[in-house]
């Protein structure tokens, strides 16, 4: 009886889209106003899905409380109220597009969740733009 | 041309998480405040998906009205404004976690919908915690 | 420069609508399925508004963090995952309709917030039924 | 690293459900109030998903701006504030059910997006009724 | 203890904005694509507020069930799946702008609700455009 | 027949909360993680309300299209994808709390809308924190 449980979380952060080695003109041409050197920001809304088999004893796939705490430790604490380009090591050399942020989130959760679980990450950058990454 | 139609529904119910045979301390340790013996409750929001082939004559996969009525008879009428532990037979010996409620809903719909359709059940226990079950 | 700041919160609780001294038939007639003696429940969504004057030094009407903590202490901790009829003293002799719950919330906040502030309480019992109370 | 990006869009349109060659009674019997000959309408909410591989240079799967513009040209401009039965050629002989509208949207996008991308279309006819079509 | 209870409802309808006596060019100039002679449509979302004093015996301002039924009889049944210009008498000579529809709704409810209640009508034409009318 | 029309808009921006003349420790103590010198950001969601009398000829209080354009020129264009502290002159010496941003928005709209209209501004900094300012 495979099933997926989902937990929502959120963090507010600043970022800019920028490729090192490109001129400012080239960055502006490709990334538009998202390349603003003084940064802009978003309320990122996150949905983490964990797929697996239900424990017949508890009726839990996994305890939502534990999942909530892992998301807090791995994602909310290090990302919330931060400048992603300047304060999250993963984005020193990786452009913090919503695609790359979703992959980074997936990688962080993968290290913390048992291999028996599959993981999916849905990340809203705005209410209109979002991505899904399943590894 | 396979496609999925979705219909939303909802019911408000009381429940507690509880495993018969465990001590109250053990139940509290595993289920936390959800094990409150005097119950708590939720507005459950349900999305039922039905996948199949479109009828070229009507342009319907299935009539939303019929799907709505089946959900009402099988889920809303028996679950709404009920105490799931005490008043729904399926949860007499099965812990009414959101995972187990989703499976029960899927099983009830499976009996009513033609075998040519695949069924998916998404069930929100809160706006932040939800599950998906596809059988 | 009067302005209102709002903070959202939520709690999940069981209740029933019931008037002591009325027969079961009378309770059922007036309160319908909400009078179920075995309880049902809701995800209550709460919006608290605080009106007043901005502190020119900080640019805050009041610190959202402080408001959040007061709501947690006064409302979420005592109401969340509780049976309102059985476990909240205010509803021992008062019917826990959404109207009466909103008034109880307002009264609790009134005691904790400075008299210079006006308070409004919006309380959703379901996404379709809600009330506003301003004292 | 396969991933899906999603973009939301919307259009407001009139339609009726109707099968040419059937009597008015038969249309009413099958399509109910949706067969009203004088039309009714909806705010259609659309989510387009595009799956593929991230460009390691930009960190984009595809530029959201380009996706937004394609959706505007192919869907919003021709469908918004239109009568689907009378003013969209695809629905001259095809019943504009939400299923058929989703398929038409998918077909239009398929012609504009590179074959390396997979496409999914989620279309809400109302907040309670929606479909997903993946080709 | 004055308080307001709110009930949500919805209806799907076709309309066009149009002033009799103006030329088609003038109608197009003033109302833009909303003047399309073949109609377009919306999912109208309605929130009705009723203000008054709580009945101390029941804890109700008014029974949500009664309010729901009045909204169904006065608004949903006559407006849902209709062409507002052609099928609702009130809009034969009155332009069915969201402003005028809100006023018509308010007038219909005013006749059905006791004079001791104040009424407010919030009407969404789209998720981005809405009005509030309090009489 | 006084009525209010509302239009939603949004902008994504970076900011920090900071009082010039206070030490970093004092700023951190008062503004917490919102004082991060490297900025964070939000998706600000804005609802502008305009109250007045309906034009009996058009049925409009004011044309939503004109209101939309004014909001774009006065708020979205200058604020979207900007660093509020560094790139919006109004916040050079004024702390960009959500309270102060709402007041600045109101002031900008006041200059553009006829004195016969009353204006209200609702501004969400996050889905959980928001303000209303009516001048």
Query: What are the pLDDT digits (tens) for B94-124?
Result: 999 999 999 999 999 999 999 999 999 999 9
- In this prediction, residues D94-101 reach a mean pLDDT of 98
Per-residue pLDDT for C1 more than 80? Answer: no
Q: Is the pLDDT of residue D1 over 70?
A: no
- Residues of F with CB below 8 A from C3's CB? 99, 102-103, 131-133
Stated length of chain B:
135
> Which residue is listed with tokens 């307001």?
E4
Helix/strand/coil (H/E/C) assignment for every residue in C33-84: HHHCCCCEEEEEEEEEEEEEECCCCCCCCCCHHHHHHHHHHHHHHHHCCEEH
The predicted structure's pLDDT at residue F2: 86
Would residue F125 show up in a list of annotated catalytic residues for this protein?
Answer: yes
* pLDDT at position C2: 86
Kindly name the residue from E29, E40, E81, E99 that is annotated as catalytic.
E81
Task: Give me the count of residues in chain E.
Answer: 135
Nearest-10 crossing angle of helices C98-112, C64-71: 130
Residue F92, exposed/middle/buried by CB under 10 A (0-12, 13-18, 19+)? exposed
User: pLDDT per position in chain F (135 positions), as tens?
Assistant: 689 999 999 999 999 999 999 999 999 999 999 999 999 999 999 999 999 999 999 999 999 999 999 999 999 999 999 999 999 999 999 999 999 999 999 999 999 999 999 999 999 999 999 999 999
Domain extent at residue C79: 2-133
Check residue D2 and give its pLDDT: 86
Residue A39 phi/psi, 5° resolution? 80, 155
- The catalytically annotated residue of E15, E74, E104, E125 is E125
Smallest Cβ distance to A7: which of B32, B97, B128?
B128
Integer-rounded Cα Rg, in Å, for chain C is 17
Q: For position D11, what pLDDT does the model report?
A: 98
Task: Identify the band that residue A79 occupies on the pLDDT scale cut at 50, 70 and 90.
Answer: very high
pLDDT band at A2 (very low <50, low <70, confident <90, very high): confident
Per-block mean pLDDT, blocks of 10 residues, chain E (135 long): 94 97 94 97 98 96 97 98 98 96 98 98 98 97
Shortest CA gap D96–chain A (Å): 25
ipTM of the complex: 0.95
Intra-chain end-to-end CA distance of chain C, in Å? 22
Task: Compare all CA atoms of chain B with the CA of C43 and give the residue at the minimum distance.
Answer: B42
User: Which residue has tokens 């003349």?
Assistant: F21
Q: What is the pLDDT of residues A15-71, one digit of tens each?
A: 999 999 999 999 999 999 999 999 999 999 999 999 999 999 999 999 999 999 999
Residues in chain F: 135
pLDDT value at position E72? 98
Cβ count near B24 (within 10 Å):
10
For the stretch E34-65, pLDDT in tens is 999 999 999 999 999 999 999 999 999 999 99
What are C84-95's pLDDT values in tens digits? 999 999 999 999
Domain of D60, CATH number, reads 3.30.479.10
Alpha-carbon Rg for chain E in angstroms: 17
pLDDT at B33 over 70: yes
Could A133 and D58 be called an inter-chain contact, meaning their C-beta atoms sit closer than 8 Å? no
- Structure token digits, residue A15: 């970022």
pLDDT for position B2: 86
CA–CA distance, A13 with D75 (Å, rounded to integer): 33
Q: Distance of CA D126 to CAs C86, C126, E118, Å? A: 39, 19, 30
pLDDT band at A1 (very low <50, low <70, confident <90, very high): low
Q: Do B61 and D131 lie within an 8 Å CB cutoff?
A: yes
Q: Give the residue from chain E lying closest to C96, CA to CA.
A: E59
The whole-angstrom distance between C32's CA and the closest CA on chain E is 9
Whether C125 is a known active-site residue: answer yes
Q: At residue A8, does pLDDT exceed 80? A: yes
Beta-strand pair D2-15/C118-124: unpaired
CB contact under 8 A, D10 and E126: yes
Alpha-carbon gap: C39 to the closest alpha carbon of chain B (Å): 6
Considering only CA atoms, which of B33, D86, E70, B97 is closest in space to residue A57?
Answer: B97
Contacting residues of F for A80, CB less than 8 Å apart? 33, 40
Domain count, chain D: 1
Query: With touching defined as 3+ CB pairs under 8 A, do chains B and E touch?
Result: no
pLDDT in the model for residue F46:
98
What pLDDT score does D39 carry? 98
B13-26: average pLDDT: 95
Chains near C (3 or more Cβ pairs under 8 Å)? B, E, F
Closest Cα in chain E, distance from residue D118 (Å) = 29
Q: Which residues of B touch D94 (CB under 8 A)?
A: 59
Q: Could you tell me which residues of chain E have a Cβ less than 8 Å from any Cβ in chain D?
A: 10, 12-15, 33-34, 36, 38-43, 80-83, 86-87, 126-127
Q: Chain B residues with CB inside 8 Å of D32's CB?
A: 65
How many Å apart are CA D86 and CA E40, to the nearest integer?
11
Nearest to A30 among D8, D58, D64 (CB): D58
> B98-112 vs B64-71: helix axis angle to the nearest 10?
130
Taking only the tens place, the pLDDT of each residue in F17-35 is 999 999 999 999 999 999 9
Residue E21 Cα, gap to closest chain C Cα (Å): 41
pLDDT of the residue at F1 = 67
In angstroms, the Cα distances linking F135 to C55, F62, F105 are 16, 20, 10
pLDDT at A18: 95
The fraction of chain A above a pLDDT of 70, given in percent, is 99
Which residues does A contribute to its contact with F (CB < 8 Å)?
10, 12-15, 33-34, 36, 38-43, 80-83, 86-87, 126-127
Closest listed residue to residue B65, CA positions, set D31, F10, E114, D130: D31
Active site members of B: 34, 81, 125
Mean of the per-residue pLDDT values for chain C? 97
Span D28-62, pLDDT tens digits: 999 999 999 999 999 999 999 999 999 999 999 99
The alpha carbon of residue F57 is apart from the nearest alpha carbon of chain C, in Å, by 35
Selected residue of C43, C76, C124 to mutate for chain B interface (largest B Cβ count, 10 A) = C43
F128 vs C8, C49, C61: nearest CB: C8
- Contact call for B5 and D96, based on CB within 8 A: no
**Could you give the CA distance from residue F133 to residue F48 in angstroms, rounded to a whole number?**
10
Alpha helices in chain A (DSSP H): 24-31, 64-71, 77-79, 84-87, 98-112
């Amino acid at each position: 009886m495979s099933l997926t449980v989902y937990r929502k979380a959120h963090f507010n952060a600043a970022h800019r889209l920028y490729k090192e080695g490109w001129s400012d003109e080239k960055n502006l041409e490709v990334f538009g106003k998202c390349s603003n050197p003084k940064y802009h920001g978003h309320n990122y809304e996150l949905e983490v899905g964990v797929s697996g088999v239900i424990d017949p004893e508890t009726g839990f796939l996994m305890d939502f409380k534990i999942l909530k705490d892992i998301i807090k430790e791995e994602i909310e604490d290090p990302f919330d109220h931060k400048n992603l380009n300047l304060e999250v090591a993963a984005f020193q050399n990786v452009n913090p597009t919503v695609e790359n942020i979703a992959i980074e989130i997936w990688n962080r959760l993968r290290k913390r969740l048992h291999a028996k679980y599959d993981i999916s990450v849905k990340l809203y950058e705005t209410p209109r733009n979002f991505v899904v990454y399943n590894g």
